[in-house]
Structure 1
Amino acid sequence: MNPTIINIVSGKGGTGKTLLACVLADMLGNAPDAKTIVVDLDIFVRGLTSLLYFHREEKLHIVEKHKLTVSDFFVEKIRYPNKDLGIVKYRSFDVLPAVHRIDQKLDYQDLAPNTRHEAKVILSALLSCLADDYRYIILDSRAGYDELIAATHEISTISICVEEQDQISKVTSDNLISQLDEQSTPTFRLINKARGVKSPNDIDFSARSVTDIGAIPFDMDILNNFGTSGFWDVTGRSLYRWALANAWNTLNSKLQFGTRLSLPRLSPIMSEAVESRIGFLTLKDRVFFVYGLVLAMFGAGYSLVGSDFLTIFKDDPLRVGASIMGIVGFSMAVTVLIRRPKR
């Protein structure tokens, strides 16, 4: 069976495509018969390779010198039939790093393919060296559009354009996709760091289409823990992972890849919808915030409707008024935090 090649792209930098590629690879790698590898094609920024650097306790050398990294294919621009790839095992998936050493200096002039055809030859040579038993190959491409991105898109099964909710990100994604659409490879759109949403329907696209596969809520825990030793523990119980699994299952339903992700998650506040609206708080703060409001409103409400309500109303009307003000104030705070943004 030929592997499914998933190309992760973005119209601009900073959309979180590298993190998304890693979390998706980890989920797929844990699925039955879904061996997965991620290839770091962003050889200058090398965000994916940086994760390996921290995973290996900040050792500068990621790969042994006699083995091949992604940059080797672009420097020499030839096949390496007798050499091994410097593939590194990372959690449930494999990674082909961008460079041997995390601080390795590269000359852009030596690496940039002159034509789309040249880029395609290099990429095809790289992919031909991968083992045949990979079910999914995820390409972490760099942001923007050039001959390499065009070639990467052409050799892939699909491309996923990761964008943010703001208009600048949408425009840059529109521009990228208009270039990619010149080829037959399908491109799908995925919103990352979305605020105030609980489903794809909460995102205001100027033109909805079958290529929209979901929205991943902004999650403060992911932002605070990215690159730390506790990152994957946090990710395992996060809204981010839950939403990305849903987006993948939407894509899987459209294209019938055969790998469905089952990641049940019980929200600590009993509602993913409410939790996604307050994703700017950490998980601990979300729990304290919501249950604090519940307790406060219960206490205020009981002072109004408790068994001694008539006595309170007669002897201390200011207490009743203060309780009403408290309930109204808390209701206003909750409304501001969880209301759906108007477009």
Structure 2
Amino acid sequence: MKPLPQVPFSVLDLSPVRAGGTAGESLRNTIDLARHADRLGYRRYWLAEHHGLPGVASAATAVVIGQVAAATARIRVGSGGVMLPNHPPLVIAEQFGTLAALFPGRVDLGIGRAPGGDHRTARALRRHFGPADNFTQDLEELRGYFRPGGPGNGVHAVPGEGLDVPVWLLGSSDFSARLAARLGLPFAFASHFAPDYLHEALALYRREFEPSAALAEPYAMVGVNVVVAATDAEARKLFTSVQQAFLNLIRGAPGLLPPPVESMDGRWNPIERAHVDRMTVCSAVGAPAAVRRALDVITESTGADELILTAQVYDHAARVRSFELAAALRADAHRTTAAPPAAAPVASSV
């Protein structure tokens, strides 16, 4: 099991649009946060495709990735992920081939199979729904466009063909875990909002993994909500924006990212609270020491090869500070002794 100092940290950014803000502000904040992440030593910076959600500005994912890559120098950039059923595989190959041509050695292509929006939005994106089980076929076609000579169907992705664009599979169930294992691809689990099958999916992925030209051994990345502040109380307050956003989502009324509140008491009923707590159980919230303990527990329990951190924080300066404090945890861990803690840490959503 890798200790925390050896586990790379990455960033998953949903480009949150806050109440009282604009999408333009959100996207500028994304570019600013990416510059900080680049400086702080995060391994990769991923953007997620969502549609029709007023609180998410990264719908045109490849466009935002290009802006982030242009504003940074070292960090890998990519999608966490692109929802392949929404697009012809050739279009995605051309988009990410273009990115890889502009930023060689820095582009990741994370692929998901969810719609990234409601049914009407999905229909507007796709126009004509195909069979639901086309994902595996579309994925193979997409990967084929990056091979020298293309997929053998006489169609060529230019740019794209012959370029090194690592493909990841993303998921929150056993489907993508099993497919990633069979194809020998890296796998990222969306435990930051759908943790129910985290351990089962990771076990299946590792058990069934078949080495490939892309990957010799299984490589799993785990999503974690991380909010770090000077004190536990301050971090818990910042985290109420996440809790309110999930509460609005389960009520069927997604909106802009709400400002934090002193307490969630009276804002949800016991059933709603249990639902939000379950969705956010893979979280580390608090002062640096508390977050370090929680991340140690998550890393040990999952065997994660990499953690991808996401933070839906209303105030941009507080969000940047949270990622700064989180990055320092790995540096601090290098300086700690090997003595065991006085008490076993307990992972918590708050």
| TM value normalised by structure 2 | 0.36
Structure with max Cα Rg:
1
